[in-house]
């Protein structure tokens, strides 16, 4: 049986993994190792989410090292705990920027943390990826920033179109009150206006803090809504579905944004049966995706979700760019190679323009306790 992260916070998560490095000079590798920085939450309520991303990055690095590394040089990871907080993320960004050993960085489980770091890496000329940050504010923000996550504008528009395709006329909009939630909500609202979908109530909540959704659901039950679209993450979407029947919303159609697509959502059992979520990854999309899931489960004993797959792609693209560098490996040379790449990852094909790489947004439904691809 596959193990999944559930509602309880996992104990014993490593708070930081610091690995010594051996480089000299400004942004240039000069020893038999190459360092990649990583900044994700490793403590606090969203630590399990950060752990899945770090595990995926470690797997990509392990596979690269087992295959000979970067032109014979081993890759080492320098991991820091950003606690899911922008202030911590900025401090880590400055720490990495001051370290000439770091050739690239993968960071941020939320958009707010990415926004806190992107200018720092731009000033330092460090190629950096986020597998999760989706706010449109990041598009074109830096010549050194890339993301394997979709732009929120695309996610919000896709959600509204899917609801229209299901014959829905009136919808309740729930979103987390931060950069991620606001980006999706604004795009969803704009698309709804364009296609004539009526948003009858708009409700917000605080990511990682709101656990009682009685206010939001009470407002929805009397609004005439036929459906709820939720721009949020796993815990909040799970709790909303657990509580919705208590407030007269049990029969409403529910679509969760891509923050909901993770194995942990299935731990909410019957309360999430039948709901829909958006995502970028499905094991049945390609042989490469299947091999990734098999390798991840063999290494860690649990099933990877949407953002683990995206983190794996972020690391794999960065590593591939490093492999393609001629001569001395420098940050600028790596950045040039990223821009030149067309890369087939486990989530799809990437070629970056203004940091974004458009891929099709998947729709999945929870059926019999598992995610089933709809379109």
Report the pLDDT averaged over residues 31-47: 91
Six-digit token pair at 359? 């891929």
Identify the residue whose tokens are 């695309």.
Answer: 154
Residue 247 falls within a domain, yes or no? Answer: yes
Residue 16 falls within a domain, yes or no? Answer: no
Q: Which of 319, 341, 303, 362 is nearest to 36 (CA)?
A: 319
Residues 140 and 204 in one domain: no
What 3-state DSSP class applies to 368? Answer: coil
Q: How confident is the model at residue 193 (pLDDT cuts 50, 70, 90)?
A: very high
Residues 289 and 337 in one domain: yes
Tell me: the pLDDT tens digits for 338-355?
Answer: 999 999 999 999 999 888
> For residue 199, what are the domain limits?
152-279
Residue 361 falls within a domain, yes or no? Answer: no
Residue 275 falls within a domain, yes or no? Answer: yes
Residues 112 and 201 in one domain: no
Residue 356 falls within a domain, yes or no? Answer: no
Residue 24 falls within a domain, yes or no? Answer: no
Number of domains in the chain: 2
Q: Find out whether 63 and 295 touch, Cβ atoms under 8 Å.
A: yes
Residues 138 and 166 in one domain: no
| DSSP letter for each residue of 216-276 | HHHHHHTTT-SEEEEES-HHHHHHHHHHGGGGT-TTSEEEE-GGG-SGGGGGGGGGGTT-E
Residues 143 and 289 in one domain: yes
Residues 269 and 178 in one domain: yes
Strand partners, 203: 174
Q: Which of 47, 36, 40 is nearest to 73 (CA)?
A: 36
Residues 271 and 298 in one domain: no
Query: What is the reported pTM?
Result: 0.81
Residues 109 and 200 in one domain: no
Average pLDDT, the chain: 90
Identify the residue whose tokens are 């900044």.
Answer: 39
Count other Cβ atoms within 10 Å, centred on residue 162.
18
Residues 225 and 289 in one domain: no
d(CA 250, CA 273): 11
pLDDT > 90: what percent of the chain?
A: 75
- pLDDT(320) > 60: yes
Residue 257 falls within a domain, yes or no? Answer: yes
CA distances to 18, 224, 234, 297, 365 from 368, rounded to whole Å, are 42, 29, 18, 21, 10
CA distances to 200, 204, 209, 213 from 218, rounded to whole Å, are 13, 13, 19, 8
d(CA 42, CA 225): 38
- pLDDT(26) > 60: no
- pLDDT(36) > 60: yes
Residues 100 and 186 in one domain: no
Q: Find out whether 275 and 91 touch, Cβ atoms under 8 Å.
A: no
Q: Find out whether 278 and 272 touch, Cβ atoms under 8 Å.
A: no
Tell me: the pLDDT tens digits for 206-240?
Answer: 988 999 999 999 999 999 999 999 999 899 999 99
Give the rounded distance of the alpha carbon of 258 from its chain centre. Answer: 8
Residues 162 and 269 in one domain: yes
Q: What is the CATH number of the domain that holds 254?
A: 3.40.50.2300
Q: Where are the alpha helices (DSSP H) in 110-178?
A: 111-124, 152-165
Q: How confident is the model at residue 56 (pLDDT cuts 50, 70, 90)?
A: very high
Q: How confident is the model at residue 19 (pLDDT cuts 50, 70, 90)?
A: very low
Report the pLDDT averaged over residues 355-365: 82
Residue 127 falls within a domain, yes or no? Answer: yes
pLDDT of residue 240: 98
Q: Find out whether 255 and 276 touch, Cβ atoms under 8 Å.
A: yes
Residues 322 and 250 in one domain: no
């Amino acid at each position: 049986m596959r193990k999944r992260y559930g509602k309880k916070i996992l104990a014993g998560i490593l708070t930081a993994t610091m690995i010594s490095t051996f480089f000299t000079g400004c942004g240039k590798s000069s020893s038999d190792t190459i360092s990649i920085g990583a900044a994700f939450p490793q403590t606090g309520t969203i630590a399990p989410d950060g752990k899945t991303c770090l595990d995926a990055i470690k797997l990509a690095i392990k596979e690269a090292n087992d295959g000979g590394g970067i032109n014979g040089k081993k890759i080492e990871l320098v991991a820091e705990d950003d606690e899911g907080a922008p202030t911590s993320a900025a401090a880590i960004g400055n720490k990495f920027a001051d370290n000439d050993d770091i050739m690239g960085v993968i960071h941020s489980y939320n958009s707010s943390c990415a926004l806190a770091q992107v200018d720092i890496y731009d000033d330092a000329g460090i190629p950096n990826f986020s597998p999760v940050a989706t706010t449109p504010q990041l598009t074109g923000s830096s010549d050194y920033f890339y993301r394997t996550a979709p732009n929120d504008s695309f996610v919000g528009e896709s959600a509204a179109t899917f609801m229209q395709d299901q014959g829905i006329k009136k919808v309740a909009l729930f979103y987390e009150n931060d950069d991620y939630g606001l980006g999706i909500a604004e795009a969803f609202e704009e698309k709804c206006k364009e296609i004539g979908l009526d948003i009858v109530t708009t409700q917000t909540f605080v990511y990682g803090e709101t656990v009682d959704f009685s206010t939001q659901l009470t407002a929805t039950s009397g609004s005439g809504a036929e459906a709820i679209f939720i721009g949020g993450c796993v815990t909040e979407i799970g709790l909303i579905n657990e509580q919705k029947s208590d407030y007269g919303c049990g029969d409403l159609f529910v679509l969760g944004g891509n923050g909901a697509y993770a194995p942990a959502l299935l731990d909410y059992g019957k309360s999430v049966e039948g709901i829909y979520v958006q995502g970028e990854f499905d094991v049945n999309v390609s042989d490469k995706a299947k091999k990734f899931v098999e390798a991840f489960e063999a290494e860690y004993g649990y099933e990877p979700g949407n953002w683990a797959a995206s983190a794996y792609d972020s690391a794999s693209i960065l590593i591939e760019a490093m492999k393609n560098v001629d001569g001395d490996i420098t940050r600028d040379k790596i950045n040039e190679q990223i821009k030149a790449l067309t890369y087939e990852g486990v989530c799809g094909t990437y070629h970056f323009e203004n940091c974004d790489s458009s891929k099709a947004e998947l729709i999945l439904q929870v059926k019999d306790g598992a995610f089933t691809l709809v379109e």
